Amino acid sequence: MGGIYFHIPFCRHKCLYCNFFSVANTSQTGRVVAAMRRELAERRKDWPDNDISTVYFGGGTPSVLPADDIAAILEDVRSSFSTAQDMEVTLEANPDDVSAEKVRMWRAAGVNRVSLGVQSFDTATLAAIGRRHSGNDALRAVDMLHRGGFENITLDIIYGIPGRGDEILADDLHKALYSDVKHVSAYALTVEPGTALDVLIRRGKMSAPDDGDAARQFLLVKDTLETAGMEHYEISNFAFPGFRSQHNSAYWQGKPYLGIGPSAHSFDGKRERRWNTASAGGYVTGIGGGGGPWWESEELSEKDRHNEMIMTALRTCEGLPTDVFADRFGGDALSRLMKTAEKYIRYGTAEIKDGHLRLTRTGLFFADGIAADFFYTD
């Protein structure tokens, strides 16, 4: 089983911290959607044996698209691919895009999971990071989704925002839980080079995030959501039982996925990775045959596959299955892995449990740095 990711690059406004490919202009939506539908039809031949179990509309802001476009794309998926009866279909949405009519049309189109970019319920915090909606907008959006029949709702929350204390984050988490959502994705505020946030910090207009504050608030998020009964199943993701993101879980497990749209990435589940041009105009022209190359690809080396398996597995609560790792990369690779793991086990940041190398409560926040220590570098 595989998944399809549709990258909708349009936003009404670019957030200060965002480094995803997006265009703060919706005038080209029709042309890009037409090109995406054409790409989907053309690439069907690349996936002769893969049934589709998940579809994910990410961005950008997919909720800026007319609901009819979402419906048309999903109809193309069903007519071109064999799809699972319980196929998970996720749509990312901004709170200020949610209306009763859109909710009705999303449901009718087959969307059954909404990822709402709340980030915070505190209006002052939202303004500080360049979000357009208010805290009340976020609460209204969740309520409309519930009233429209959506049970599987996930919220994005950002922590580690300078000047925003633990009490604001705690209130955000309590409101998320009180609103009866099934899943929360919590991310530390990071400063990516070239973003508006990066520029403001370098000019002294904003404070840089503090790693110590972020680490403390990570544990506040973890403790609050786990106490409420959520599983901490991946570094940034928490879900009540039965409500893990199936699409993202498949990605962390190395399963194949097809990426459609500008800047979208694909993986065949074995060695080939492919990505489309990060240009809406170049993508549309390339699909139409009037431009230059609009995608590139690479074959992953054994080193790449080794490092990627470690990186993604250590982000999950289950961790890295040592038997699978040994089968894939050999006994010598496993011995090297376990030798490197000894110091982290001594530090209490890693452990061996049920045949898996996994990070502990104190190790999870530092997963990327720990994982890098296991990588092949030559």
**What integer pLDDT is reported at residue 8 of this predicted model?**
94
Residue-wise pLDDT for 193-250, tens only, equals: 887 777 777 888 888 888 999 999 999 999 999 999 999 999 999 999 999 999 999 9
As annotated, the residues of the chain forming the CATH 3.20.20.70 domain(s) are 2-251
CATH of domain 2-251: 3.20.20.70
Q: Which residues contact 182 (CB under 8 A, 6 or more apart)?
A: 151, 152, 153, 154, 239, 240, 243
The C-alpha atoms of residue 258 and residue 274 are separated, in whole angstroms, by 9
Q: What angle do CA 26, 276, 2 make, to 5 degrees?
A: 100
Percent of the chain beyond pLDDT 70?
Answer: 96
Start and end residues for every CATH 1.10.10.920 domain found in the chain: 302-373
Read off the pLDDT band of 45 (50, 70, 90).
Answer: confident
* For residues 108-131, average pLDDT: 94
- Average predicted confidence (pLDDT) for the chain: 92
Predicted pLDDT of residue 16: 67
12: pLDDT confidence band, cut at 50, 70 and 90?
confident
- At residue 190, the pLDDT reads 84
Which of 207, 276, 214, 228 has the alpha carbon at shortest distance from 42? 276
Q: Model confidence at 192, in pLDDT bands (50, 70, 90)?
A: confident
92 confidence band (pLDDT: 50, 70, 90)? very high
**Predicted structure pTM score:** 0.94
When pLDDT is cut at 50, 70 and 90, the band that residue 264 belongs to is very high
CB 32 within 8 A of CB 262: yes
- At 21 the pLDDT is 58
For residue 310, give both structure tokens: 């470690």
Query: Which H/E stretch holds residue 159?
Result: strand 152-159
CB atoms within 10 A of CB 192: 11
Q: Quote the CA–CA distance of 96 and 326 in Å, as a whole number.
A: 49
Residue 63 has which token pair?
A: 């909720």
Per-residue confidence (pLDDT) for residue 376, from 0 to 100 = 87
pLDDT band at residue 48 under the 50/70/90 scheme? low
CATH of 302-373, one of 1.10.10.920, 3.40.366.10, 1.10.286.10, 3.40.50.300: 1.10.10.920
What value does the mean pLDDT take over residues 52-69?
A: 94
Q: Which residue has the higher pLDDT, 371 or 46?
A: 371
Nearest-angstrom CA–CA distance, 255 and 308: 12
Burial of 121 (0-12, 13-18, 19+ CB in 10 A): buried
The pLDDT of residue 274 is above 70? yes
